[in-house]
Structure 1
């Protein structure tokens, strides 16, 4: 399974970026290839100018096109996904997510932002052709406490919800891995 993750946070030390990376680690045995796009690392002028000929922008768009699973992580600001994510999603072709599985992840200060996944992010993913959208996972700041050594410590409930969201990917991946192993024998 080729996985591409997109981190839509403008912040260097971001809960949503950490959660996106953490979801990738939960799929390590499943991924045949994984790519991580940190949108804040893309050239701002090219991103804002919709310059899809820029090498970094073109590479990011191509990574989404090549993926079978796209993980989209974003902080929620004012009941919507980040503007940085919006700018990038606007660069994608109209059917960029057709035929792909998509996992939406979001973080916010409180559960008051929980519905932003359903009312803001999922509609734009659907507009890009996503038909197989896994259960979204929303985490509050309190569910991802800062760790003194860096990173965050997720609450057990958050881990359980993330694992439930990823569960549909695991049986198919296990069957594929088993088939590959039996072919090698």
Structure 2
């Protein structure tokens, strides 16, 4: 079996070079890389400091910006980081994101990071950066897929990881072997205090067979016989 390579890249949109934002993004990359290596991945890392692009971000076309986008187009895992400025992400990052064509981030794992100076900035990343992806997938598991649920609930199992079949649906990776998989488009989001609630429009549905896996009162359960 060949060695799997994970291409990781981080984009930092802080006007100050080598800032706290850069340090936070670097730490995210470091931790994910360490975890990936335990699963046998060879990790390749690269960085994009948007301060180096400077005024070229407002030029069109810009060879330097096109080269930066070209590097990002080849990666699997992308960390996008920004300081919180006036309750939003930086104008530097916005100018860069605006030059990405539609669907540019499809098929990539994108992790948004925002660094704030106040607890009031805690929801900024969910409200502002996360919706940029606009699409997400949902997998409904069968009652015999407890190990799969545990794997995605923070108890990773390498055997589960290597045996999970998946396919691309609307440029979103979803499980092939489950009760149902859905590709959704973000419809709206609502502030729920310490949570943000996302409402999605189902674009594609792939139904399977079986009974659903349930989790209730801290235990996995199954639906009983029909009365």
* The two structures share one fold, judged by TM-score above 0.5: yes
> SS at the partner of 2:46?
strand
> SS at the partner of 1:35?
strand
State the alpha-carbon separation in 2 of the partners of residues 68 and 60 from structure 1: 15
- Describe how 1:2-151 pairs up with structure 2 within 5 A: 2-26=7-31, 27-28=33-34, 29=37, 30=41, 32-42=43-53, 44-52=54-62, 54=63, 56-126=64-134, 131=136
Alignment CA distance shift 1:11-1:33 (3 Å): same
| Dislocated runs of 4+, deviation >6 Å | 167-170
Could you say which structure has the higher strand fraction? 2
The Cα of 1:175 is off from its aligned counterpart by 4.9
- Describe how 1:154-169 pairs up with structure 2 within 5 A: none
The Cα of 1:31 is off from its aligned counterpart by 5.0
CA contact (8 A) 2:10 2:80 kept: yes
List runs of 5+ in structure 2 lacking aligned partners. Answer: 1-5, 138-153, 164-227
The Cα of 1:4 is off from its aligned counterpart by 1.3
Aligned-pair RMSD on alpha carbons?
A: 2.6
> SS at the partner of 2:21?
helix
Alignment CA distance shift 1:101-1:170 (3 Å): farther
Larger RCO, structure (CA 8 Å, separation 6 or more): 1
List runs of 5+ in structure 1 lacking aligned partners. Answer: 133-166, 177-185
Q: TM-score normalized by structure 1?
A: 0.64
The Cα of 1:32 is off from its aligned counterpart by 2.9
State the alpha-carbon separation in 1 of the partners of residues 15 and 118 from structure 2: 19
The Cα of 1:171 is off from its aligned counterpart by 5.1
Instruction: List per-residue Cα deviations over 1:103-135 (Å, max 9, x = no partner).
Output: 111101111111111111112232xxx637xxx
> SS at the partner of 2:17?
coil
State the alpha-carbon separation in 2 of the partners of residues 35 and 120 from structure 1: 24
Could you say which structure has the higher helix fraction? 1
Figure out how many residues of one structure are paired with residues of the other and give that number: 135
